[in-house]
Amino acid sequence: MQHHHHDEEFRLHTPEFNELHRKLDRRRFLTQTSLGLGALAVGSLFGLDKLYGSAARQATSQSAGAMSAGDLESEILKALPHIAPKAKRVVYLFMAGGPSQFETFDYKPKLVQMAGQNLPDSVRKGQRLTGMSASQSVLPMAPSVYGFNQHGKTQTWVSELLPYTAKVVDDLCIVRSIYSEAINHDPAITFFQTGNQLPGRPSIGSWVSYGLGTDNNNLPTFIVLVSKNAPKDQPLYARLWGNGFLESRHQGVQFRSGKDPVLFLNNPEGYDGHDRKEMLDYLSRLNQLQNDAYGDPEINNRIAQYEMAFRMQTSVPDVMDTSEEPDEVFELYGPDSRDPGTYAANCLLARKLLEKDVKFVQLYHQGWDQHGGLPKAIAQQCKATDQATGALIMDLKRRGLLDDTLVIWGGEFGRTVYSQGKLSATDYGRDHHPRCFTMWMAGAGVKSGISYGETDDFSYNIIKDPVHVHDFHATLMHLMGVDHERLTYKFQGRRFRLTDVHGKLVKDILA
């Protein structure tokens, strides 16, 4: 083995290899960085690395060789935020499966008199149905069996299923007029998470990581938490928090409950921190040799990820440990918050991550796809999530974090006014409905205590202030200081962005 090691070392340093190495270095310096020193100077002048993240760095490194100094400065300025950011960090509570607006935030009292009647053709207007209810001979309308009450100074209508969310309703910006183009789960959730119905695009958190960089070098910029106590009616895919065609270091990192919160992070048995550091040093040198020879940006990403993993061996156990939290915090979030991996525990963990300046935290809670038995199922879902959701808002607010944190709640589409399957006085189901549904935001940069947008008496069509998924994305990025039209990435000859070629800012909800 020792002889083989020396043979490899000799082969790497043959005259032929050294000459190739010298030519590559010279060529790269002359062609790729003919303005490299100027680019570094401009980058230093603007403080790109610390303030504006990797989008501006990419503009500097990729474009420097082919531009004049003036064009280079213009390209860098295009990558910088054009809006003063209101949100330093985001926590996105994604209710996977499509929560019903009728049992949560969109109060429709007129439906009580129309219970059991067929949905009028004048309302449906021939719109697309899923294959699950398209064969029904009638589409009987189903009012919610649950009552609504007015809450807060704003007297906002909220379902009786959400008493804890109702307590913070004056902090919420409820948008009742969200709409999507996708009617089935996979394309719909992919659309919400990446801006496109087809897999392969970067997720929102990855775009944020790419554009804004990190404020904590010991934790990932983008962290994902999935509830263990949720019904698994619809699968979740790791590509929903994937980096797509962006550099791999921008992908979301899933934190799990249990012994290994991050897979493959801990050292193997019999391996200590010194061994790990020594191995990483040698690996970094080998990667650097490969990078110098081939100039593959993924090599630097690998180096950075190995180094991040090493730092996370200390930072992850610290942030995952909630034993120092006082009893009143667990009481605020509810009894499940003492059980790692539950939605409530993940909300508490999200608060800790936000305190550590993690920029994008995404929670997924499955189980909202209620085609039958909806009254019982949605009551269970609300019981599992409502207290912790309200607690997260209250906890962030009392710690002074809500002012610069954006909280988002919602799913991939809504539900139909008509019952899928048999309708009774106490039981019904609802099919997918992408044409209008409800989400809410709270915190940094959005108006509090308002309801935006209106649907008709059947919550079937939007009658005022529609907000498309692309509009939602444009507004989210704006709140983080990013012009969604300017944060782009060139891939396969085309410049891509989160909102594709769409999206407009929803100015009326901005504080």
By the 8 A CB rule, do 159 and 440 touch? no
User: How far is the C-alpha of 75 from the C-alpha of 197, rounded, in Å?
Assistant: 30
By the 8 A CB rule, do 180 and 413 touch? yes
- What is residue 63's predicted lDDT score, i.e. its pLDDT? 44
User: How far is the C-alpha of 194 from the C-alpha of 211, rounded, in Å?
Assistant: 15
Block residue for tokens 């219970």: 115
By the 8 A CB rule, do 72 and 60 touch? yes
Q: How far is CA 161 from CA 147, 157, 248, 448, in A?
A: 8, 12, 41, 21
- DSSP state, 360? E
DSSP per residue over 11-76, as a string? HHTSHHHHHHHHHHHHHIIIII-TTHHHHHHHHHHHTHHHHTHHHHHHHHHHHGGGS-HHHHHHHH
By the 8 A CB rule, do 304 and 280 touch? no
Give ∠ CA 226-408-48 in degrees, rounded to 5.
95
Report CA torsion sign: 223, 99, 366, 192: negative
Q: Which of 383, 363, 374 is nearest to 414 (CA)?
A: 374
User: Within 222-342, where are the H helices?
Assistant: 273-294, 297-320, 327-333
Q: Which of 400, 402, 397, 413 is nearest to 460 (CA)?
A: 413
- What is residue 279's predicted lDDT score, i.e. its pLDDT? 76
Residue by residue, pLDDT tens for the chain (511 residues) are: 444 443 333 334 455 545 545 544 544 444 444 444 444 444 444 445 544 555 555 554 444 444 555 555 555 454 555 688 999 999 999 999 999 999 999 999 999 999 999 999 999 999 999 999 999 999 999 999 999 999 999 999 999 999 999 999 999 999 999 999 999 999 999 999 999 999 999 999 999 999 998 888 899 999 999 999 899 888 999 999 999 999 999 999 999 887 788 876 677 777 666 777 777 777 778 878 877 777 777 777 777 777 777 777 888 888 989 999 999 999 999 999 999 999 999 999 999 999 999 999 999 999 999 999 999 999 999 999 999 999 999 999 999 999 999 999 999 999 999 999 999 999 999 999 999 999 999 999 999 999 999 999 999 999 999 999 999 999 999 999 999 999 999 999 999 999 999 999 999 999 9
Token representation of residue 502: 């769409």
By the 8 A CB rule, do 206 and 248 touch? no
By the 8 A CB rule, do 46 and 52 touch? yes
Q: Which of 491, 472, 488 is nearest to 180 (CA)?
A: 472
User: How far is the C-alpha of 64 from the C-alpha of 50, rounded, in Å?
Assistant: 20
Q: How far is CA 210 from CA 85, 204, 213, 214, in A?
A: 16, 10, 6, 9
User: How far is the C-alpha of 386 from the C-alpha of 332, rounded, in Å?
Assistant: 11
Beta bridge partners of 462: 455
- What is residue 39's predicted lDDT score, i.e. its pLDDT? 44
Token representation of residue 63: 């474009």
- What is residue 44's predicted lDDT score, i.e. its pLDDT? 46
Ramachandran bin of 326, using left for φ above 0, alpha for ψ from -120 to 50, beta for the remaining angles: beta
Torsion of CA 268, 274, 278, 281, to 10 degrees: 100
pTM here is 0.84
DSSP per residue over 62-112, as a string? HHGGGS-HHHHHHHHHHHS-SS--S-SEEEEEEETT---STTTT---GGGG
User: How far is the C-alpha of 304 from the C-alpha of 435, rounded, in Å?
Assistant: 43
DSSP per residue over 141-196, as a string? B---SS-EEEETTTTEEEETT-HHHHHTGGGEEEEEEEE-S--SHHHHHHHHHHSS
360 backbone dihedrals φ, ψ, rounded to 5° = -140, 115
By the 8 A CB rule, do 138 and 120 touch? no
- What is residue 223's predicted lDDT score, i.e. its pLDDT? 96
Type of residue numbered 364: Y
User: How far is the C-alpha of 176 from the C-alpha of 465, rounded, in Å?
Assistant: 9
Type of residue numbered 458: F
Type of residue numbered 423: L
